[in-house]
Amino acid sequence: MVNKFLINLVVEYGARIGKSVFKAYQQAVNSPGAQQSGFGKVAQETFGRFVVKPMTRSEAFQILSIEETTEVDPTKIMERFETLFVKNMPDRGGSFYLQSKIYFAKEHIMQDFPAEMNASKFNPDESEAAQETESNKDDAKKN
């Protein structure tokens, strides 16, 4: 009974304190004095690191170095994706961060096309499925 009371007390007051700290932070950032002193900008940049913004379509085209036009060729997107993905492989001195950006840019653009046009040997689901299919074929040959 006492444990339940203490847990409820901690949760309730913890939530209140968290909300009040967040509200005070927002007021401090948005106050006119903070904007003039530069604190508001610094605080927003710092807090902005923790907030993930979704990728826009134009950012996706910039990442893949493809000109954004009214008609987009999915084969061109996939070719560019595979080229950049291979160049940024970590075992070749590339960056996993850049590789993931390239992958999500491709996914963002290719969501407008049928799934079969989005086939790549670098898609996680398809590579696992291909490995399972190959292992099943090997098992069938052994039997």
Residues 27-61: tens digit of each pLDDT: 766 666 655 666 656 666 666 666 667 888 899 99
3-state percent breakdown (helix, strand, coil) of the chain, nearest 5? 75, 0, 25
Q: pLDDT of 89-142, one tens digit each?
A: 889 888 888 999 999 999 888 888 888 777 777 777 654 444 554 555 555 555
Query: Residue 50 — φ and ψ, nearest 5°?
Result: -90, -10
Whole-number average pLDDT of the chain: 76
d(CA 51, CA 45): 10
- Report whether 92 contacts 84 (CB < 8 A): no
- pTM over 0.75? The answer is no
